[in-house]
Amino acid sequence: MLFLRWTPAATYTHLSDCSVESATVAGEPVRALVFTREFAQNGDAAEKKYKDWPVTLTGKVQSVDAAKGQAVLAGYKERDTKTRPGASYTVTVSFGRDWNDVAAKLKPGDEVVVSGDLLTFSPREAEVYLADCWLIRK
């Protein structure tokens, strides 16, 4: 249910007791592998490209932490070199409280489409973090 409140001093929308009935794709889905490859190749440019825009990804669930409302999607894997193993990039998607029940039903190996906002990229951990995510489809 949507409640709008207007006052002469300020105009704002107040939403309370809301739930998402259905979710639609915010943009053309990008494969998690392609998305994380961009961060592997140039993290600063990728952050600049995706910051402040909804990101819609499709990928395979690698792991789930139902207690935190998070899932990890498998991403780009760098090739091993003679001096070091290649990094395995992942995307951690954090669902809002309304999505905890849905997130808890995810299993490793599930192919999913999620939409959310870029939170940060950690080159050291080879991990991209998305927040306020919605599960579009499983």
Give residue-wise pLDDT tens across range 21-46.
555 555 679 999 999 999 999 999 99
pTM for the model stands at 0.76
In a domain, 125, yes or no: yes
**Residue 72: inside a domain:** yes
pLDDT at 8 over 80: no
For residue 136, the model assigns a pLDDT of 86
Q: What is the phi/psi pair of residue 103, to 5°?
A: -60, -35
**What average pLDDT does this structure show over 104-117?**
93
The residue with greater pLDDT, 138 or 49, is 49
What are residue 64's DSSP bridge partners?
71
How many residues can be counted in the chain?
Answer: 138
- Is residue 64 a part of any domain in this protein? yes
* Averaged pLDDT of the chain: 83
- Residue 112 β-bridge partners: 59
Q: How far apart are CA 98 and CA 118, in angstroms?
A: 19
Q: How many domains does the chain have?
A: 1
User: Residue 61 falls within a domain, yes or no?
Assistant: yes
Check whether 6 has a pLDDT greater than 50.
no
Q: pLDDT at residue 4 above 70?
A: no
CATH number of residue 47's parent domain: 2.40.50.140
- Is 75 within the bounds of a domain? yes
Q: What is the pLDDT of residue 46?
A: 94
CA 65, CA 40: separation in Å to the nearest integer?
24
| Predicted local distance difference test score (pLDDT) of residue 71 | 94
d(CA 13, CA 133): 21
Distance CA 121, CA 75 (A): 13
Angle between helices 32-41 and 43-50 (to 10 degrees): 130
Average confidence (pLDDT) over 13-25: 58
**Residues spanned by the domain of 48:** 30-137
62-104 tens-digit pLDDT: 999 988 889 999 999 888 777 777 889 999 999 988 777 888 8
